[in-house]
Structure 1
Amino acid sequence: MHRIVIFIVILVLLPTFGFTEEKEKRSEDQSAFKQDIVGLWLMGQSLCEGAESLPIVTSSDSGWGNYQFKRGVRTWLHGNHANQPEDRPEEQFTFVPLTAATYGGLGETIANGLADHLKARLNGTDQSKENAENGAPHFLTTYAGQGGRLIDELSSVDQSNDSRTPANRQHGGHYYQTSLDDARRARAQADSMGKSFSIAALVWMQGEANGGPTGGINPSRWGQELKRPLGQEWYRDRLIHFRKEWSQDLQAITGQTGDIPMFTYQTLGPAGDAQLMAADTDPNITMVGPHYSIPSGVNSRYAGRYGDPIHMSADGERWYGEQVAKVVHRVIQEGEKWQPLRPRKASIAPDRKSVLVDFSVPRPPLVLDELFLPREQYPLGDGFHSLYGFQIRDADKAVIPISSITVESSTVLRIELIAALEKEASFTLSYGLPYAGQIGNITSIRKGPIIADQPTTELLVEGKLDEHMKPLLDEGAFIITNMLGPDSFARVPVRHVNEEEGTTVLRYVDRERRNNLDFAVGQTITTQRPFTYGNLRDSDPEKSIYQFADPEYGTRAGQPYPLWNWCVLFNRFPISE
């Protein structure tokens, strides 16, 4: 019997633009890691603040000797000197051991995964954390943003205090100013201890809030949406400007001479590709990669409810922190010219019955993984509408059925097609869909038990769950839908699965039905993951220092976080002849 929690994030993908692997040499200052206290300055919205990442999994001193302010990792607090950061009490800025903390609906952040993994890497794999605890550097992690914020609400523009911003979205602003004041407080505290201080890296986790309703970018809460590609170009330029200004202002405080590099995740929505564009343009911005492989916040529990699917679980936050740390170390300490796993070229094979896709692969060989994540697939005739996350369309956006996908070489995939592609036609490749496969037809529907005063329903589906569904259950969250038109479209989170005499039983809470629409006997059930995803990853051997810790969902508690690099999400990548 499995307890499962679910929802889905629908992701609007935009074009992935070309890139140059040989980026201009960045001006990183490797001496930043040689200071006594080294800052890791975070900025972003809900995923960066640990929204609904509860219950926390790093509740006590981890023993790696890293710091936070006594005020906490989250230094901007609504109603607590939000618009006057310089007036925050001095005693709140002493250094204390880095841990996660619960603050209302906020929980675990990436801080411990990020700082502790970096400390472990700098001390060498043969060093225990007991030996590292008292040794420099001590990483100080701080975050001064807020969930739901636009890029120019977080920047020095401070749109939150613009009179055109709705009053219920103002909250005092001054996020950028708070981040700078944090640096002043850190330097003053380090000076009082007779310790040196610098900031090694900026971490960016924002972008969803700028997504427009038609797939473009909203620069503000009152202006017009910028259609693509203009919207993406605008966000690219704003992110580059933010990085430069933030670095310069922090350098003026710390006395550093070199640019402070920024590391960004790939956000959901139209800003995700703009972040890639920024990383391709600014040698001091690095794209770490997507986060779709981690467990969603639908697995979180607090205040008698579950988290939103767009957020991360507590394990997800700490896991992604380790992923960021891995890339920060490779770029700053080892000088690697990092590129995430992403396509370089897609071309039609001579027989026109397949497409070859060449990738930039951080740590070859490529792997089509269907053991850790369920195989992404949706049927279309004798083939697939999408497979392993990949989909091909023609110029009229008609889907080209896929028959299979195989790893051709350490950096190349071959996508086999049901029929040969027409000549004198254009085609594009996309990656990232939510479908985890169909599991059968509903044979009967019955009332389930009352749970926490809530009525439930049980769907009986013919046959046992296919073995390829095991990773979905291991992860701990999935959704079911009947994939019908809007008037009959049923979708609901499933929180309990078991088998009865060869039949699969799916139980859901009635109040969670989308638009209160019911399923019906005879309908086919399609499963989905909370995040849009694909199955392509590399073979990165780096080991995590943490393991899955929350045993209340899935089956992975006690297993180490895998630090593979998963392919970035992309759309409309051109396929050449």
Structure 2
Amino acid sequence: MTARQSPAQARARRLAGAAIGITREAAGCQTGDGMGAVMMAPLVARCWWYASRKLALLSCCVSGTTIEQLSKGYSIPLFERIPQSATIAKAQADTLKTTIGCFLLEFCQGGSNTDTDYATYYPLLSQYFEDAKAAIKAEFAQTIDPFIEIVPISGMNLPGTGIMDVCRAQVDYVMATPGAYIPTVGYPAIDYGPHYSSNGERYVGAMRAKVRHRVITQGLAWKPLIMEKATIRGEQS
């Protein structure tokens, strides 16, 4: 008897079929502090059906940048780091005569847009991912979209405009986009400066790992804990 696959499991299996086999030098490690950063990771490690595949992380971080600055067509071509990194990885894979594909696009941004409203941020975020997916798929010659993981914003960088406008835009995007997810709306604890504290890093890392496992490995639906409505009962002076 064969277990039925969920859409997420089927996507993961197809993506893993075009997985990374790449040299250590090309894999590299992530750089930057993640504020205004995007990480592109062809992620296949610990997928039970392709345990022998290798994992590579292509870092396209640009610290402290807004969504406008990261977008395609901005005067300083920061966006081009994505296809440029993919080109390097593809060349390494070709040299090794192995297949390569982008499995996960990890996005850590929002803290530099604390004064941006929902109506401005949401379409920029949506277009950014459309452009990023198109660039990645073209470089790797793959037809399947990578998963998208949005990393929660840390306490000191939570939005100050509207009602958590950037956080709401990120949540609404993943809710409307198959293959996209966010572990939680934000990590509200006040830590040191704009970064997570050491305990905060552990908490967020553990949460991301659990959600990533549920979505990608187990193929389960995921919805972050969000307030959908509030009811006022009585009055208090």
**TM-score (norm: length of structure 2):** 0.74
Q: Relative to total residues, which structure has the larger strand share, 1 or 2?
A: 1
Give the aligned partner of residue 73 of structure 1. 30
Shift of 1:115: 9.3
**Which stretches of structure 1, 4 residues or longer, exceed 6 Å deviation after superposition?**
none
* Structure 1 gaps, min length 5: 1-24, 40-65, 75-102, 125-131, 162-172, 218-230, 299-308, 353-420, 423-577
Shift of 1:321: 3.8
Give the aligned partner of residue 144 of structure 2. 258
Q: How does 1:71-220 map to 2 (within 5 A)?
A: 72-74=29-31, 119-120=45-46, 122-123=47-48, 136-158=52-74, 161=75, 173-212=76-115, 217=116
Q: 1:71 to 1:345 in 2, by over 3 A?
A: closer
Counterpart of 2:144 in structure 1: which amino acid?
Answer: G
Counterpart of 2:45 in structure 1: which amino acid?
Answer: K
Shift of 1:332: 2.8
Distance 1:273 1:293 in 2: 14
Distance 2:19 2:182 in 1: 27
SS in 2 for 1:190: helix
Shift of 1:319: 5.3
SS in 1 for 2:183: strand
Shift of 1:198: 0.7
User: Is the 1:155–1:175 contact (alpha carbons within 8 Å) kept by the matching residues of 2?
Assistant: yes
User: Is the 2:152–2:187 contact (alpha carbons within 8 Å) kept by the matching residues of 1?
Assistant: no
Q: 1:115 to 1:29 in 2, by over 3 A?
A: closer
Give the aligned partner of residue 13 of structure 2. 30
SS in 1 for 2:105: strand
Which residue among 341, 348, 351 is the counterpart of 2:225? 341
Distance 1:194 1:318 in 2: 38
Q: 1:70 to 1:141 in 2, by over 3 A?
A: closer
Counterpart of 1:258 in structure 2: which amino acid?
Answer: I
SS in 2 for 1:310: coil
Q: Relative to total residues, which structure has the larger helix share, 1 or 2?
A: 2
Counterpart of 1:141 in structure 2: which amino acid?
Answer: L
Shift of 1:320: 3.1
Alignment partner of 1:282 is 2:177: yes
User: Is the 2:185–2:225 contact (alpha carbons within 8 Å) kept by the matching residues of 1?
Assistant: no
SS in 2 for 1:140: coil
Shift of 1:35: 4.0
Shift of 1:156: 0.9
Q: 1:208 to 1:36 in 2, by over 3 A?
A: closer
Give the aligned partner of residue 371 of structure 1. none
User: Is the 2:16–2:103 contact (alpha carbons within 8 Å) kept by the matching residues of 1?
Assistant: yes
Distance 1:192 1:319 in 2: 39
Counterpart of 2:130 in structure 1: which amino acid?
Answer: K
Q: How does 1:356-375 map to 2 (within 5 A)?
A: none
Deviations 1:514-554 (A, max 9, x none): xxxxxxxxxxxxxxxxxxxxxxxxxxxxxxxxxxxxxxxxx
Identical-pair percentage = 23
Shift of 1:73: 2.6
Shift of 1:189: 0.6
Give the aligned partner of residue 312 of structure 1. 196
Distance 2:70 2:11 in 1: 24
Distance 2:26 2:204 in 1: 22
Shift of 1:337: 1.8
Deviations 1:188-214 (A, max 9, x none): 1112112211111111111121222xx
Shift of 1:29: 4.8
User: Is the 1:180–1:249 contact (alpha carbons within 8 Å) kept by the matching residues of 2?
Assistant: yes
Q: How does 1:347-358 map to 2 (within 5 A)?
A: 347=231, 352=233
Deviations 1:250-308 (A, max 9, x none): 10111111222211133221311111122233234312214527894x3xxxxxxxxxx
Q: 1:328 to 1:204 in 2, by over 3 A?
A: same
Counterpart of 1:234 in structure 2: which amino acid?
Answer: T
User: Is the 1:201–1:263 contact (alpha carbons within 8 Å) kept by the matching residues of 2?
Assistant: yes
Q: 1:295 to 1:343 in 2, by over 3 A?
A: closer
Q: How does 1:265-304 map to 2 (within 5 A)?
A: 265-267=151-153, 268-269=158-159, 270-290=165-185, 292=187, 296=191, 298=192
Distance 2:180 2:114 in 1: 21
Counterpart of 1:155 in structure 2: which amino acid?
Answer: S
Counterpart of 1:187 in structure 2: which amino acid?
Answer: K
User: Is the 1:236–1:274 contact (alpha carbons within 8 Å) kept by the matching residues of 2?
Assistant: yes
User: Is the 2:104–2:149 contact (alpha carbons within 8 Å) kept by the matching residues of 1?
Assistant: yes
Distance 1:294 1:68 in 2: 37
Q: How many residues align?
A: 217
Counterpart of 1:292 in structure 2: which amino acid?
Answer: Y
Q: How does 1:435-454 map to 2 (within 5 A)?
A: none
